[in-house]
Each structure stands twice: as structure tokens, then as C-alpha cells.
Amino acid sequence: MEAEPRGGAAGERTPGTVAESVRAYRLVVRMWMRSTMSYRASFVMTAFGNFAATALDFLTIVLMFSHVEALGGFSLPEVAFLYGTASTSFGLADLLMGSMDRLGERVRDGTLDTLMLRPVPVLAQVAADRFALRRLGRVVQGLLVLGWALWRVDVHWTVLNVALLPVTLVVGAAIFCAVYVAGGAFQFWAGDAAQVQNSVTYGGATLLQYPPGVFARDLVRGVTFVVPLAFVNWLPALRMLGRPDPLGLPGWVDFAGAPVALVCCALSGLLWRAGVRSYRSTGS
């Protein structure tokens, strides 16, 4: 039935697809923001709660350092550097497509149907689903911690290191986005894989806030080669901080983030399309 391999792409993969997706995403986001604003008090409270919760998160690390000098050989500013980069990248991805885990619900109750009837890419609509501006709290908090870390940390600011920092943040966000999309695609088959997805996204973001040295080597291998979260901040951060990498990978790997992120996005995109194709909807 699906004889021509690129036949299905004709509709969705026209040159303007990315622009069309962004446009649709913005349209849907705007609707959600207006919906949220119809419950203004609730919005203010959850936004404040969110910010407070993430702020407390870093406080636990600060408290830890009141008892120890170093964590996995890292000083507080260095851990703050890891925390800031991981939190900012993850916060960006969470802000952009944090509602992907709601897809399972839509698949189970069949409300995905209504999204599939619109003349815009489904992925853009699902990513924008339940868009919540309050998630900006994590990005702000990540940037604040990163700012403090940059002020206190001892980095030799070569041109390369200066350029690597913003690239790292963007690459990290892209990798987390890919994880969100892959997790979303998986829910077409699994029905509800939200918790598996959360363990990789939220769990991964927490993992990356600590130096790789404090974790078992196999775990570090896993997040380097299986789900390449190490490229979010560990590898480039270790270079910037002048630390050896516990896996002893060659130096060029520290710069492989962008291509790795591209591959992740491409793979998750393919997975997504396969997922949409296998969508079964519900009874009526």
C-alpha cells in the first residue's frame, strides 16, 4: 500500500514545512496563552510556585556544599556551571515541547483526531498543546545560576570556549527536544509512556546537574552512547572547565554536540512519522 517510499512525504515535507510548523506552533501557543489568562489568579500562583520550586532545587546543592568541599572533585561554582547549562537547556526544551507527554492521553481518548484534521503539521500542534508560559521559570532560574557560576568559575576564556557556551545551550535544548519527540512518538504504540519519557527528560536534566565523576561509569556510558545526553553539557563543560572526561574520549568529541543533536532530531522525526502512521484512533 505504501509503495513509494517518499510518496507520503509529498504532503508534509514540502520546502515550507518548517516555516509552516513554526507558524502553526505560534498560532496554537497563542490560543493556550489566552486560555491560561482566563484563569489569571491560577496562572500567577502556579508561575510563582514553579519558580520557587526550581529555586529550592539549587538551594539543596548549596546546602550540600556547606558540608563538603567538593562533589566528584568539582567546586560549588563548577557544579553551578553544570547546573546552569543543564537547567537552561532542559528548561528551553520543556518550555517549547514539555506537553509532549500529554500525547499519550490524546492517543488513548482519540482527541488526536481533531488535530489530524487540520491543514498543519501534527507535531507542531502537539508540541504547542497546553503551552505553559510558567515553564519559563526554569529557564530564568537556570540562567541566573549560570550567570553566578560564570562570575565565580575559573575558565580560560579562549575564543573557542566563548563560542562553545551558547552553542552548548542550543545543542542541549535540541537534544532534549529530540527526546521529547521520540518519547511522544513512542506513545503511539505504548499508549502511555509518559513516565518513561519523564525519567529521561527530568531524570536526565537532574543527572547532568552533577559532575559525571559521581556516577557509575556504565551510567555515564549510557548517557553518552545510548541517549546522548552527555552532549547536552557534560562533554563541552568538561573542556571549558579543563577537566578530564571520565570515559577518556578523544578531544574532538567535545565539539560533536551539533551533529549529534542533528542526528537525534532526524531520528526522532522519523520515529514520529512512523508513530503517526500507526495511529489507530478510538472506537467512535
Partner 1 sequence: MTVTDSAEPMIAVDGVEKVFDVRRKVAGTLRRERHQVRAVDGISFTVPRGEMVGYIGPNGAGKSTTIKMLTGILSPSGGRLRVAGIDPSRDRTRLARRIGVVFGQRTTLWWDLPLRDSYELVRRMYRIEDPRYARNLDACVELLDLGPLLDVPVRQLSLGQRMRGDIAAALLHDPEVLYLDEPTIGLDVISKAKVRDFLRTVNAERGTTVLLTTHDLTDIETLCSRVMVIDHGRLMYDGGLDGLHAVGESERTLVVDFAHELPPVEVPGARWVRSEGPRQWLAFPAGDSAAPLVTALAARHPLVDLSVREPAIEDVIARMYGAA
Number of residues in the chain: 284
Q: Which residues bind partner 1 (CB under 8 A)?
A: 1-2, 7-8, 10-12, 24, 27-28, 31, 34-35, 38-39, 110-111, 113-114, 116-121, 277, 279-281, 283-284
Q: Which is nearer to partner 1, 27 or 227 (CB)?
A: 27
Closest to 54 (Cα-Cα) out of 24, 17, 26, 95: 95
Q: Which is nearer to partner 1, 34 or 156 (CB)?
A: 34
User: What is the DSSP-derived secondary structure letter of residue 4?
Assistant: S
Q: Which is nearer to partner 1, 251 or 283 (CB)?
A: 283
Closest to 96 (Cα-Cα) out of 212, 179, 4: 179
Residue where the block lists cell 530564568: 140
Residue 238, helix vs strand vs coil:
helix
What single-letter amino acid sits at 147? G
Cα–Cα distances in Å, from 49 out to 52, 55, 56, 93, 149?
5, 10, 11, 20, 24
Q: Which is nearer to partner 1, 3 or 159 (CB)?
A: 3
Question: In whole angstroms, what is the distance from residue 190 CA to residue 151 CA?
Answer: 45
The grid coordinates of residue 7 equal 510518496
CB of 271 to partner 1, least distance (A): 17
CB of 281 to partner 1, least distance (A): 6
Residue 71, helix vs strand vs coil:
strand
Cβ atoms of 155 and 164 within 8 Å: the answer is no
Q: Which is nearer to partner 1, 243 or 273 (CB)?
A: 273
Q: Which is nearer to partner 1, 120 or 247 (CB)?
A: 120
CB of 149 to partner 1, least distance (A): 40
Residue where the block lists cell 548549596: 62
Question: In whole angstroms, what is the distance from residue 64 CA to residue 214 CA?
Answer: 14
CA–chain centroid gap for 16, Å, is 25
Q: Which is nearer to partner 1, 10 or 63 (CB)?
A: 10
